[in-house]
Amino acid sequence: MSKRRKRLEKLRQNPKDVAFDDLRKVLEDFGFELVRSKGSHFAFRHHELNEMFILPYRKPHVKTAYVEQFLMIVEQLLSLDDDKDEADE
């Protein structure tokens, strides 16, 4: 299993205790780019999605709702990848 998948599984197993930097690393693993940071909010965009993911910076952990929202977005991305793989076959 790749490091990218291991970090994602760690988020899935415990979405309550996620540090901001850990979530940011996983965001970048899945192709999200930091497009803006203003005050305590960071905006990430993925090139395949038309929406932005806004993440407020909080110490020591990111709120569970943001982690769960990100996990739903990743599921969408993974299903897009699966659809592309099936179309290539």
Q: What is the largest CA-CA distance in the chain?
A: 46
Convert the pLDDT of each residue in 41-50 to its tens digit. 999 999 888 8
pLDDT number for residue 42: 94
Residue 87: is its pLDDT beyond 90? no
The arithmetic mean of pLDDT across residues 9-20, rounded, is: 91
pLDDT number for residue 85: 56
Report d(CA 83, CA 53) in Å as an integer.
Answer: 23
Cα–Cα distance list, 63 to 8, 18, 31, 55, 70 (Å): 16, 8, 22, 9, 11
The percent of residues in the chain predicted with pLDDT above 90, rounded, is 51
For residue 42 the two structure tokens come to 């960071």
* Residue 24 pLDDT class (50, 70, 90 cuts): very high
Question: Can you give the residue ranges of every domain in the chain?
Answer: 34-89
Convert the pLDDT of each residue in 68-84 to its tens digit. 999 998 888 888 776 66
pLDDT number for residue 82: 65
